Amino acid sequence: MAKLRVGLLFGGRSVEHEVSVASATSILEALDSSRYDVHLIGVDADGHWHLGAPSLPPEAATGGDEVLLPAVPGGGGLLARAAGSLKDGAESALATPLDVIFPIIHGRGGEDGSLQGLLELADLPYVGAGVLASAVQMDKDVAKRLLAAAGLPVVPWEVERLAKSSQLLAPRLAETAQDILARTKFPLPYFVKPSNSGSSVGTSKVDSEEELAQALATAARYDSKILIEQAIDAREFEVAVLGNDDPEASVPGEIVTQHAFYDYHAKYAEASTQLVIPAEIPDGQSEQIREMAIAAYKVLEGQGMGRVDFLLDRATGQLYINELNSLPGFTQESSMYPKMWEATGLSYPALLDRLIELALERHSEKSRLETSYRDG
């Protein structure tokens, strides 16, 4: 049986570039070489795609030959951007069409629907959520509106639109902060974050009006649409969801951090951060979280995989959906998504196999749909 040709796509023009490289490294090591012929496709910080030889570590691939993916169906292969510039080991990969893409580009340009749109135009199967699900899960404001409309609990929030240039205008920021404090129906403290960003980049906890102005400036570095959420003293839980039309949920995990919240440093650099899997909660509460995770996944059109994050108010016991992530971190050692599935009984290599199967199943179903109209 011929090996499946997998394009492992990673890196990206995003503040989460390094996180993506770490995810790709773990995936490359775990994919079964007897089943898969893996082709590394690294996207550099300027957005250019590069082809790496299969033996190269992912971090080296962004220095390889520059390639393009034609946005037309039928090929499935990459094209060299400059003819005659191929390095050793790249020519055969370029000549071989890919069977499936495993995109592990986190953040803007990777999990916001834009990359998924390109892969749809190229008619290539790909792992993870589609265009709509990727876009709405990336935009925290839109996701909250849809979840709230479906009757699922979310923390109260406001939205402010602020151009990046405004961060240079201290008086304008102070006025905006005053306006937000006057119109919000919930008291300080707040969490202020870019509506479209990941890994808590640009997120601040705010206890005063002065801090609010600075937090707005920080968030505006990464998005012009800014979320202001009510901050609650909460335990933080996560659930991994897997599947297309009939998704399943893993056991919940709890994040215990010494920081004010689970920020970028706590996620990737703080040794004291604890990932408690499975979470130490009653069985009934665990089942409630899993059921709510699947409900939220369906509301936001999840496919393939997704991670659902929860907040449990310590004072009231109220459970809130914090956000959904359509392309969660995938390092075998420290990422919650694969670790929660491992605790549920699905190993890291088996999880990768299942994700690729789901991608192929979804593409096969979509391929049966008619693309031209014939009356009768």
CATH code at position 57: 3.40.50.20
pTM: predicted TM-score of the whole model, two decimal places: 0.89
As a whole number of angstroms, the distance between CA 291 and CA 233 comes to: 23
Residue range(s) defining the domain that contains residue 216: 157-230
The DSSP-derived string for 3-53 is PEEEEEEEE-SSTTHHHHHHHHHHHHHHS-TTTEEEEEEEE-TTS-EEEE-
Query: 329 an active-site residue?
Result: yes
Q: In this structure, is the dihedral angle defined by the CA atoms of residues 89, 94, 97 and 98, taken in order, positive or negative?
A: positive
**Mean pLDDT confidence for 360-376:** 88
Residues 141 and 268 in one domain: yes
**Mean pLDDT confidence for 65-93:** 70
Residue after which a domain boundary falls, among 181, 204, 230: 230
Residue in 26, 197, 325, 335 annotated catalytic? 325
Residue in 199, 200, 322, 335 annotated catalytic? 199
Task: Count other C-beta atoms under 10 Å from residue 335's C-beta.
Answer: 22
Q: 9-18, 24-33, 121-130, 148-157 — which is least confidently predicted?
A: 9-18
Cβ-based neighbours of 44, under 8 Å, separated by 6 or more: 11, 13, 50, 62
Residue in 75, 268, 270, 353 annotated catalytic? 268
Residue in 128, 190, 223, 307 annotated catalytic? 307
As a whole number of angstroms, the distance between CA 271 and CA 140 comes to: 28
Q: Return the pLDDT at 92.
A: 46
Q: 163-167, 224-228, 346-350, 351-355 — which is least confidently predicted?
A: 163-167
**Most confidently modeled range among 76-90, 91-105, 353-367:** 353-367
Residues 36 and 148 in one domain: no
Residue in 11, 16, 76, 197 annotated catalytic? 16
Residues 222 and 286 in one domain: no
Cβ-based neighbours of 244, under 8 Å, separated by 6 or more: 303, 304, 358, 361, 362
As a whole number of angstroms, the distance between CA 151 and CA 148 comes to: 5
Query: 254 an active-site residue?
Result: no
Q: Does residue 374 lie within any of the structural domains?
A: no
CB 330 within 8 A of CB 137: no
Residues 243 and 360 in one domain: yes
As a whole number of angstroms, the distance between CA 253 and CA 4 comes to: 33
Q: pLDDT tens for residues 141-174?
A: 999 999 999 999 999 999 999 865 554 566 788 8
In the chain, DSSP assigns E strands to 4-11, 36-43, 49-52, 65-68, 79-80, 100-103, 157-161, 190-194, 204-206, 225-230, 234-243, 248-249, 253-256, 274-276, 304-313, 319-325
Residues 69 and 20 in one domain: yes
Cα distances (Å, whole numbers) of residue 191 to 91, 201, 204, 211, 216: 50, 12, 6, 11, 10
Q: Return the pLDDT at 221.
A: 86
Q: Return the pLDDT at 260.
A: 58
Residue after which a domain boundary falls, among 205, 230, 255: 230
Query: 18 an active-site residue?
Result: no
Helix (H, G, I), strand (E, B) or coil at 135: helix
As a whole number of angstroms, the distance between CA 111 and CA 128 comes to: 9
Residue in 197, 309, 326, 348 annotated catalytic? 309
Residues 34 and 97 in one domain: yes
Q: Does residue 372 lie within any of the structural domains?
A: no
Q: Return the pLDDT at 144.
A: 97
Residue in 108, 254, 329, 337 annotated catalytic? 329
Residue in 65, 229, 254, 323 annotated catalytic? 323
Residues 119 and 247 in one domain: no
Q: Return the pLDDT at 65.
A: 86
As a whole number of angstroms, the distance between CA 153 and CA 167 comes to: 32
Residue 376 reports pLDDT greater than 90: no
Query: 141 an active-site residue?
Result: no
Q: Return the pLDDT at 118.
A: 96
Q: Return the pLDDT at 94.
A: 59
Q: Return the pLDDT at 333.
A: 85
Q: Return the pLDDT at 273.
A: 80
Question: Based on the structure, what is the number of domains in the chain?
Answer: 3
Average pLDDT, the chain: 88
* Order of strands, sheet of 225-230, starting from the edge strand that comes earlier in the sequence: 157-161, 225-230, 190-194, 204-206
Query: 229 an active-site residue?
Result: no
Helix ranges (H only) for 197-306 are 209-220, 264-268, 283-299
Residues 39 and 141 in one domain: no
Residues 115 and 182 in one domain: no
Q: Does residue 17 lie within any of the structural domains?
A: yes
CATH code at position 187: 3.30.1490.20
Q: What percent of the chain has pLDDT over 90?
A: 65
Q: pLDDT tens for residues 257-274?
A: 865 554 444 444 445 689
Residues 145 and 267 in one domain: yes
Cα distances (Å, whole numbers) of residue 330 to 32, 119, 264, 340: 16, 21, 15, 11
Residues 161 and 78 in one domain: no
As a whole number of angstroms, the distance between CA 372 and CA 62 comes to: 39
Residue 186 reports pLDDT greater than 50: yes
**Most confidently modeled range among 10-19, 63-72, 263-272, 344-353:** 344-353
Q: What percent of the chain has pLDDT over 70?
A: 89
Q: In this structure, is the dihedral angle defined by the CA atoms of residues 143, 147, 152 and 157, taken in order, positive or negative?
A: positive
Residue after which a domain boundary falls, among 182, 206, 230: 230
Query: 309 an active-site residue?
Result: yes
Q: pLDDT tens for residues 86-139?
A: 555 454 445 568 999 999 999 888 999 999 999 999 999 999 999 999 999 999
Residues 268 and 146 in one domain: yes
